[in-house]
Amino acid sequence: MSGVSGAERLARVVLSRIGEPGDPRLTDLVHELGGSLVLASLREQASDRELGADLAERLAATDPVQELERADRQAIRFVVPGDDEWPEMLDDLAHAPHLHERGGVPVGLWCRGKLRLDEASEHAVAVVGSRSATTYGADVAGSIAATLARATWSVVSGAAYGIDQAAHRGALAARGPTVAVLACGADRAYPAGHKSLIDYIADVGLVVSEAAPGCSPTRIRFLARNRVIAGLSRGAVVVEAAVRSGALNTASWAGGLGRPVMAVPGPVTSAPSAGVHQLIRARDALLVTSGEEVLEAVGPVGLFTLEDPREPESLRDRLATRERQVLDAVPLRQAADSGSIARTAGLAHGRTKEALLVLHRAGLVEHSLGRWRVAMDEDPV
């Protein structure tokens, strides 16, 4: 089901094939005017002998009907704005600032997999990070992804080595939905070592690309791809990122979209955490330590509100005020007599002695030779 005309869809196929992902000269115009009009204008431009020779050749070489048939044989569908499956949240990209001369709403997305794009992104969080992750980072990414998956939130990432793959695998292990957004065509696998992971994601989740099938990954396509990861998510979590890392680019896209940017800290001695710490220091990201805290930041208000983590209530918490005052006045090391404790506590001697008995029964103070001290050499504060 779709409100998109056949001509408009075919025009967008041509534009997707001849244009670069996220080229704002194309995406902004198409979002504003539609694919058919923009394509017609390009054909006009191609008729200019000076400017248009190469363009004319590319237009002539592209048969959108064949493109769709070939994609269909690879189980790839082309989803465009107006389709039931198109996620409205992607249209927010029309108003997000361009980064690295990329931006705008994709003219369409090539999708491979059984999940519907709109459903897979309705409750989705991007979990991204360094390719050269540490085992610490990979463990935390996997654990956050698993928590999201158990709450039936999708995990969106880039299928790269390191944090990305740990995030996808964490979601898959918890049998949750996961979406891999690629910089190459949805029929290909980059990195090649993740071919079976990417194929598995297509089996049970969704593989998405703005680049047409067959396209190679290039640096500029990674930058455009990061914007789609952010666009398909309610918020982005960066787990480990060196000072210059693509994950920080994804965080910038999420920030530009006004969506929560979260970051997981690590040891300050670990280079893959340096970019994350910079994000938090600059107040560009909220520090998160768990999937629950991620859900609290992106979830409907109130649904996932966490209690601040607290130690279990201690024996001390259950004491009456007077007993606590007396306990506070009992020396930690060198025992004191009850009179001196009463003076320190500022309480009458008799009441102090009563309280000492209660504390003794509770095992909180020790008594020997008429003197008292705190029972355990625990943290005094």
Binding range to a copy of itself, per CB under 8 A, among 80-88, 105-113, 166-174, 335-343 = 335-343
Q: Is 28 in the site for a copy of itself (CB under 8 A)?
A: no
> Which one of 24, 52, 82, 331 is in contact with a copy of itself (CB under 8 A)?
331
Residue 110 CB burial class (10 angstroms; 0-12, 13-18, ≥19): buried
First to last CA, the chain: 65
CA distances, 110 to each of 12, 228, 331 (Å): 11, 12, 71
Q: Is 305 in the site for a copy of itself (CB under 8 A)?
A: no
Q: Is 251 in the site for a copy of itself (CB under 8 A)?
A: no
Q: Is 220 in the site for a copy of itself (CB under 8 A)?
A: yes
> Which one of 117, 159, 319, 327 is in contact with a copy of itself (CB under 8 A)?
327
Q: Is 332 in the site for a copy of itself (CB under 8 A)?
A: yes
Give dist(CA 239, CA 241) in Å, integer: 7
Binding range to a copy of itself, per CB under 8 A, among 38-46, 77-85, 147-155, 332-340 = 332-340
Residue type, 165: Q
Q: Contact letters (x/-) for a copy of itself, 226-245, by CB under 8 A? A: x---------------xxxx
Give dist(CA 235, CA 83) in Å, integer: 24
**Shortest Cβ 148–a copy of itself spacing (Å):** 15
Q: Which residues contact 123 (CB under 8 A, 6 or more apart)?
A: 152, 153, 154, 234
CB atoms within 10 A of CB 268: 8
CA distances, 298 to each of 53, 119, 153, 221 (Å): 49, 16, 10, 27
Where do contacts with a copy of itself occur on this chain (CB under 8 A)?
A: 18, 20, 23, 54, 58, 131-132, 136, 139-140, 183, 190-192, 216-220, 222-223, 226, 242-246, 249, 264-269, 273-274, 277-278, 280-281, 286-290, 293, 308-311, 327-334, 336, 342-344, 346, 348-349, 379-381
